Amino acid sequence: MSEQTSTAPLTTIDKIGEHVGQTVTLRGWLYNLRESGKLVFPIFRDGTGTIQGVAHKAGVSPEVFEALKGLTQESSVIVTGAVRADARAHGGFELDVQGLEVVQRVPEADPFPISLKEHGTDFLMEHRHLWVRTPRQSAILRIRAEIMRAAGEYFDSNGFIRTDPPILTPAACEGTSTLFPVDYFGDPAFLTQSGQLYIESTALALGKVYSFGPTFRAEKSKTRRHLTEFWMIEPECAYMELDGLLELAENFLTHIVKSVLKNREPELKVIGRDIEKLRKIDAPFPRLRYDEAAEMLNQAYKDGKLEAPFEYGNDFGSPDETWLSSQFDRPVMVHRYPADVKAFYMEPDPKDGRFALCVDVLAPEGYGEIIGGSQRVSSYELLKSRIEAHKLPLEAFQWYLDLRRYGSVPHAGFGMGIERAVAWICGLEHVRETIPFARTLNRIYP
Ligand code: 4AD
Ligand code: MG
């Protein structure tokens, strides 16, 4: 330890620009080190960013020079140095190192497992607890946090009340085949697939509400869009119909993207995101009926742009969504799917009952569905017959039917999976990098 470390003011790398010409202290880790004779170039990270340091043998004490030389990756350090603006440096600043305290030196014999060379995905996921330290993964997590913050902010500042639904539930919301069972003191229970049914209740109590929490899906899917545990944010509004819901969805998404551009541009650059594509995101978004989308898919197949023909009446498959959503430079809102392929609670279109008053919002650049929502069945009789037709246990839904017995109104809501939104906004291949610890078919460690 050198004497300078104690006196210089403490700061963080994201605020380093406010200290040009001053000597400051940073607390962090050694990210990388280059040595060239009497010069060492350590790169430090502190969670807010990275900065390159420079230490000349003649410019620091022998102890500091010796401690820096051969210092191992991810050793924790408290470093003091003078901040210099340097247009060539990554981030625009460099640190002329003066003092260094090594808090813990990673031993040579047991080095940090994630070196700067390429590693396979399985290896990285196995070491996710350490992988999150790398600049790219940290930047993604910072962007994720901003997306969650902005999403909550949108509802909080537009008259929505956050009401938290239970996670342990007695019944299905999104189909019985994808439930995780739990033994609830001898009774069967399930991890929730969505807070929707419960926030329909609080919407009829409070007007406009939202929920934000973990949700679970047990299907054995290995696609790059699927997690078994993910975070969903769901608004629900009394006296809202499908048109109002589409406007809500486009304003909500626009707010999120603009917030990320405003507050997390350096992180977008760290991960190499094409920022111009995000700048194009603005309401209104294009709207397509399911029928029109189906026609586009047929044409695409005829033109040889899709491998398999689209069968009218089905839900869209992954390749269909990928193709559709790459036809637009902003999210496209596909509405009025055939009622038969959608959930039991969706209100039929009064103009043609074969279709549901529902919407899927498909993110551009091939990302596909990030939002699913609908107007809800408001008639008691219809909802009861739907529950029966879907072979759901009527007793478990009596409370839900009560919402149609006592002051039923048209109401609507949607759910957005945070990880799908992060994958799109960050331009990632796979949702596994969008959440600190992904839960997938083959992974529940670490
Ligand atoms: O379309 P979904 O299944 O809709 C519902 O759950 C409704 N009850 C929501 C509502 O109307 N309040 O799921 C909503 C969103 C999807 O659009 C997607 O973004 C995300 O949740 N999602 C998943 N994300 C990651 N992994 C999965 N397995 C997901 N399943 C759904
Ligand atoms: Mg859906």
CATH annotation of 13-104:
2.40.50.140
Q: If you take atom 21 of ligand 1, which residue's CA is the nearest one?
A: 417
Question: Tens digits of per-residue pLDDT, 104-144?
Answer: 999 999 999 999 889 999 999 999 999 999 999 999 999 99
Domain with CATH 2.40.50.140 in the chain: 13-104
In the reported structure, the alpha carbon of residue 194 is separated from the centroid of ligand 1 by a whole-number distance in angstroms of 7
In the reported structure, the alpha carbon of residue 372 is separated from the centroid of ligand 2 by a whole-number distance in angstroms of 5
Q: Which DSSP category does 71 fall into?
A: P
Question: Tens digits of per-residue pLDDT, 294-329?
Answer: 999 999 999 999 999 999 999 999 999 999 999 999
Percent of the chain at pLDDT exceeding 70: 99
In angstroms, the CA 267 to CA 147 distance is: 13
In single-letter form, the type of residue at position 420 comes to R
| pTM for this predicted structure | 0.96
Looking at residue 232, its pLDDT comes to: 98
Q: What is the mean pLDDT of residues 267-284?
A: 97
Domain with CATH 3.30.930.10 in the chain: 129-433
> Is the CATH number of domain 129-433 3.30.930.10?
yes
Instruction: State how far the alpha carbon of 5 is from the alpha carbons of 13, 46, 65, 101, 253, in Å.
Output: 16, 16, 14, 7, 45
Closest CA to 28 of 59, 71, 90, 86: 71
Q: Which residues pair with residue 54 across a beta bridge? A: 96
Q: Which residues pair with residue 237 across a beta bridge? A: 208, 412
Question: Tens digits of per-residue pLDDT, 209-254?
Answer: 999 999 999 999 999 999 999 999 999 999 999 999 999 999 999 9
Which pair of structure tokens corresponds to residue 217? 């899906």
Q: Tokens 């699927």 appear where? A: 226
For the stretch 17-20, contacts whose Cβ atoms lie closer than 8 Å and that sit 24 or more positions apart, written own/partner, are: 17/85, 17/92, 17/93, 19/83, 20/83, 20/84, 20/85, 20/93
Ligand 1 mutation target, pool 178, 199, 208, 230, most atoms within 8 A of CB: 230
Query: Could you say which ligand is closest to the alpha carbon of residue 174?
Result: 1
- Does any ligand 1 atom lie closer than 6 A to the CB of residue 233? no
In angstroms, the CA 77 to CA 68 distance is: 10
Instruction: State how far the alpha carbon of 433 is from the alpha carbons of 224, 271, 305, 438, in Å.
Output: 10, 12, 29, 7
